[in-house]
Amino acid sequence: MNNARLNLLRQQGFGRRHVRSMVRALAAGVCIGLVLLAVGEFWQARRARDVQARYVQLQADWQQAQARQAAQAQAHQQHQAMQGLLQRQRQWAQQRERLDRLQTAWEMRAHSQGWQVQRWQVDARGLTLQLWLPDVQAVPDLVQALSHVGPTAWSLQQLSSHSQGGVQALLQAAWPPARGPAVPKPSVQTEGGQS
């Protein structure tokens, strides 16, 4: 056997052909690898954009939901506040109606029996009526009549004789308790029976 024929390094055409085909295969592999890498990068970038867009959309949806909840909570609070105001308005109207009935009752008696109202006051502590009566015998009838008309019972706090005759009486009644939510009591003070 001839060793020279088996020596592949000495055969010029075979080695160069082989190196060229390997270089071509390597170049083709690098090209295919670069194409696959570019496709992978493109796919990954597109996927990242999709995920980012979805994240932005979800965040916008969440913010809209939070804004809707805040608006609903505010609307509910405004509705509750309006209901409270309407309730207070009804209570004030009822209190005013009671006070008007009471004032009408003692004004009618004052005219018919000769009383003179000196002070009429309504505040958070209660109702106060100070008046002059021509006769001390009229006081029990007055207290009973006011208690019958008024929202609470009246009581005589002070009775004194007047320098020009007759008696001066100071009557008080507790302010009726508010029903429902806390309602501030009106403070009305009039002189001479005017409200």
pLDDT tens digits, the chain, 195 residues: what are they? Answer: 556 555 555 555 556 677 888 888 899 999 999 999 999 999 999 999 999 999 999 999 999 999 999 999 999 999 999 999 999 999 888 888 888 887 887 788 777 878 888 888 888 778 888 888 888 888 888 888 888 776 678 888 888 887 778 888 898 888 765 554 444 444 444 454 444
Task: Report the distance separating Cα 134 and Cα 27, nearest Å.
Answer: 129
CA nearest neighbour of 166 among 138, 192, 130, 146: 138
Residue 4 CA to its chain's centroid (Å): 103
Name the pTM for this structure: 0.47
Q: With contact defined as beta carbons under 8 Å apart, do 132 and 167 qualify?
A: yes
Give burial (CB, 10 Å; 0-12/13-18/19+) of 142. Answer: buried
**Quick one: pLDDT at residue 31?**
93
Task: Report the distance separating Cα 88 and Cα 98, nearest Å.
Answer: 15
Q: Please report, for the chain, the start and end positions of each structural domain, with discontinuous segments joined by +.
A: 96-191
CA nearest neighbour of 161 among 189, 121, 193, 133: 133
Give burial (CB, 10 Å; 0-12/13-18/19+) of 169. Answer: buried
**Quick one: pLDDT at residue 61?**
95
**Quick one: pLDDT at residue 185?**
46
Task: Report the distance separating Cα 79 and Cα 73, nearest Å.
Answer: 10
Task: Report the distance separating Cα 50 and Cα 44, nearest Å.
Answer: 10
